[in-house]
Every structure is written in structure tokens, then in C-alpha cells.
Amino acid sequence: MDLHERLDPVLTVARDSARQVDTDARFPAESVEALRGSGLLGLTLPDEVGGLGAGPHEMVETISSLAGACGSTAMIYLMHVSASMAVAATPPPGLPDLLPALASGKSLASLAFSEAGSRSHFWAPVSKSSQNGDGVRLDARKSWVTSAGHADTYVVSTLNADADTVDVFAVPADAPGVAVSGDWRGMGLRGNASNPMTFDVAVPESYRMGAAGGGFELMLQTVMPWFNLGNAGVSIGLCQAAVDAAVRHTSAAKLEHLDQSLSALPTIRAQLAKMSIDLACTRSYLDRSAGRLAEPADDTVLHVLGVKAAANDAALRITDSAMRVCGGAAFSEHLQVDRYFRDARAGSVMAPTADVLYDFYGKAITNQPLF
């Protein structure tokens, strides 16, 4: 079964439910269930654990297609892939069945990194673990946990009990002390269930991913590259959906007194052209960045830093233009262009924010340390 044979049925489900997911701000359970059965939750995981063994290009294609159908489903999928790749890089020895469960769709994973005390600096938790006999007690208050209350496994960061270094643990959702601690309703991506959570939980040392104090490196070397690339894919998918909707509407809508379509107006055509060119340029950069992650080169870090920021900003521009050229029809919701517009606003403020990434990029090209 090829990628499209797996993906197309999921897209149908996601597309059919997207409007209601957005309106009701509800978790897209039917889309996630379709993903579980498709094999796509294991897309980038190795064959030997039951994954499909695909790479960055296939991940980008899958995520951008999902985003065009339902932005919330795409973001839930991205968090699963990012968490799964972290588990694959540093499997917790105490959970030997976790990787096969992530690959098969039995386990949906998510990241629990962000905290109110460090805001968008997701790499710097302020919560701290403590020794608990032969294990570790986590006492973490997390913000913006996508799939909160719906994921089966959370990848949780905390400061090390003995030093101010970062640890990352895989925590099963059914562990005592794991709880959703508040509600969340967003401007866009309203079905993400990105609620705050508490992790007041005792876990074995063997649930730690990697060596003690190795969490910071795991975040930067594994999580951030996959997350940034996939987040850029979400932005591109929203851009493509907005361009397609704008072209359809302006080609079909008539100015009856002139006996011509909206797209016959030079001003409208110019805006459509700018949107399309902007999308093509950004998609090319995304494709190049996926290649750099698949086959690392000297400038891979620049692509990791730049691709999310560039795609997020392109999504702001393109979805804004789509709203303008479609006018009142977009504002009245029936085209769903407003949904793409609102969903696109999340990317640039999602950690690592576009502004932080531009700063990091500037440091990198001027030979300054990032931290």
C-alpha cells in the first residue's frame, strides 16, 4: 500500500469533519481513529518496530495534505511524529513495547514541554523532578499540551533532580497523577485540545529517554528539526488550501453588471498571482529543508531554523490575501477561508516562535552561540 492509498481515506474523514471540529472546538476523534488504522502514525518509524520507514519528504507531504483538510488533525499528527522520533532516538528501557505501539497506532503520543514559567522557551523547563526511592517523582505544570486528555503517551520535560540539566521522560497517560488541569479555546486550530496538564507522578528511572541530563540535546537535535519541518508543512498545507479556495471563488463568482468573473479584474488576478508565487517559493524552501534533514549538510541547522519561520510568515501573508480577494464570502465562513486564516495565525506564535527562530538564524550566520 503506497502513501496515497493510506492517506486518502484519512483526508476524506478529516475534510468531512473539519468544519464541525472548528465550530465546536472539539477533538477530531474520527480523524485520529482513521490515522490509527492507516499505519501513518508509524510513517517515520523504522521497519523493525513496525513503522513504514519513511523520511522527511513523506512526512511533509502527509502533514501538508492533512492541514489542507483539517489543521487541527495535522497538528495532532505533527506532535505524535515529533514525540515518536524522540522515543526512537532514545527509547526508554522501561517501556520496551512503546515504539511498536507508536508505530502500529495503538499509542498516540504528544509533547509536554511548554511551561508558563518559561513561556515559548520550550527547551527550558522550570519544573523539577525529585528522587523517589528507586524512581523519580515528576512535579510539572505544563501548558499548551496538544491532545491533552486524548494522547496515550506524553513526552515530558523537567529539570533533573540533582542538577539544573533537563531530563525527558515517556509517561503513560494512565499513570496516577497525570491530569488535564484546565480548558483551552483558541482562535484557530480549535480542535487540538491544547489544554494545560499536571504531571504529579512517580515513574521508574527506566522511563527516562536517554542519559540523565540529556534532554536538552534531545530537544534540539531530534525534536526541533522534526517539529520545525512538520510545522512548516502545516503552514504550507493551509496556504495551498487558501490559494485553491481563492482561485475557485474568484473564478466562479460573477459581476453580473459587467458579465465577468471576479478573476477578470486585474487587481484580483495580481493578488492571486502573488499568493501562488509566494506559495511556490516557500514550498521549494520546505522541500530543500526536508532534503537537508534527510541528508545532513553543513547548512542543515540554518534550514531547521529558517523553514518554520519562513513558512509561518508565508501563511500569514497568503491567508490574509485570500480573505481580501474573496471579500465578504470569506468573512461569512461558507468558503472556510476564514478557518485557514485563523489556523495560520498559530504557527508564528507556536514555540519556537518565528521571531525566536529569526534571532537564532541571525546568531548562526554571524557565528554567535545560539544559547
Q: Residue 314 corresponds to which cell in the numbers above? A: 508565508
CB 139 within 8 A of CB 168: no
| Whether 155 and 130 share a structural domain | yes
Report how far apart, in Å, the C-alpha atoms of 71 and of each of 27, 235, 308 are: 12, 9, 16
Name the one residue in this structure whose C-alpha cell is 473539519: 18
Residues 6+ apart with CB under 8 A from 256: none
CB 283 within 8 A of CB 316: no
pTM to 2 decimals? 0.97
Q: How many residues does the chain have?
A: 371
| Whether 291 and 303 share a structural domain | yes
| Whether 246 and 342 share a structural domain | yes
Residue 80, domain member (yes or no): yes
Whole-number Å distance between alpha carbons of 232 and 304? 10
| Whether 220 and 179 share a structural domain | no
Q: Residue 5 corresponds to which cell in the numbers above? A: 492509498
Of 104, 129, 148, the residue at which a domain comes to its end is 104
Of 212, 242, 268, the residue at which a domain comes to its end is 212
**Which amino acid, 1?**
M
SS3 letters across the chain: CCHHHHHHHHHHHHHHHHHHHHHHCCCCHHHHHHHHHHCHHHCCCCHHHCCCCCCHHHHHHHHHHHHHHCHHHHHHHHHHHHHHHHHHHCCCCCCCCHHHHHHHCCCCEEEECCECCCECCCCCCCCECEEECCEEEEEEEEEEECCCCCCCEEEEEEECCCCCCEEEEEEECCCCCEEECCCCCCCCCCCCCCEEEEEEEEEEHHHECCCCCCHHHHHHHHHHHHHHHHHHHHHHHHHHHHHHHHHHHHHHCEECCCCEEHHHCHHHHHHHHHHHHHHHHHHHHHHHHHHHHHCCCCCHHHHHHHHHHHHHHHHHHHHHHHHHHHCHHHHCCCCCHHHHHHHHHHHHHCCCCHHHHHHHHHHHHCCCCCC
| Whether 142 and 185 share a structural domain | yes
Residue 90, domain member (yes or no): yes
| Whether 222 and 319 share a structural domain | yes
**Domain containing 255: what range?**
216-365
CB neighbourhood size of 96 (10 A): 10
pLDDT recorded at residue 197: 98
Residue 370, domain member (yes or no): no
| Whether 58 and 7 share a structural domain | yes
pLDDT recorded at residue 334: 86
| Whether 267 and 200 share a structural domain | no
pLDDT recorded at residue 19: 97
| Whether 253 and 124 share a structural domain | no
Report how far apart, in Å, the C-alpha atoms of 64 and of each of 89, 147, 177, 241, 367 are: 24, 19, 35, 10, 33
| Whether 146 and 159 share a structural domain | yes
Say how many domains are in the chain: 3
Residue 143, domain member (yes or no): yes
Whole-number Å distance between alpha carbons of 338 and 275? 16
Q: Residue 71 corresponds to which cell in the numbers above? A: 489543521
CATH number of the domain where residue 234 is located: 1.20.140.10
CB 108 within 8 A of CB 37: no
Whole-number Å distance between alpha carbons of 174 and 79? 19
Residue 69, domain member (yes or no): yes
| Whether 100 and 124 share a structural domain | no
Q: Which of 112, 86, 67 is nearest to 315 (CA)?
A: 67
Residue 371, domain member (yes or no): no
Residue 86, domain member (yes or no): yes
CATH number of the domain where residue 39 is located: 1.10.540.10
**Helix axis angle, 337-349 relative to 300-326, nearest 10°?**
150
Of 104, 138, 171, the residue at which a domain comes to its end is 104
| Whether 282 and 301 share a structural domain | yes
pLDDT tens, the chain, 371 aa long: 799 999 999 999 999 999 999 999 999 999 999 999 999 999 999 999 999 999 999 999 999 999 999 999 999 999 999 999 999 999 999 999 999 999 999 999 999 999 999 988 999 999 999 988 889 999 999 999 999 999 999 999 999 977 789 999 999 999 999 999 999 999 999 999 999 999 999 999 999 999 999 999 999 999 999 999 999 999 999 999 999 999 999 999 998 898 899 999 999 999 999 999 999 999 999 999 999 999 999 999 999 999 999 999 999 999 999 999 999 999 988 899 999 999 999 999 999 999 999 999 999 999 999 99
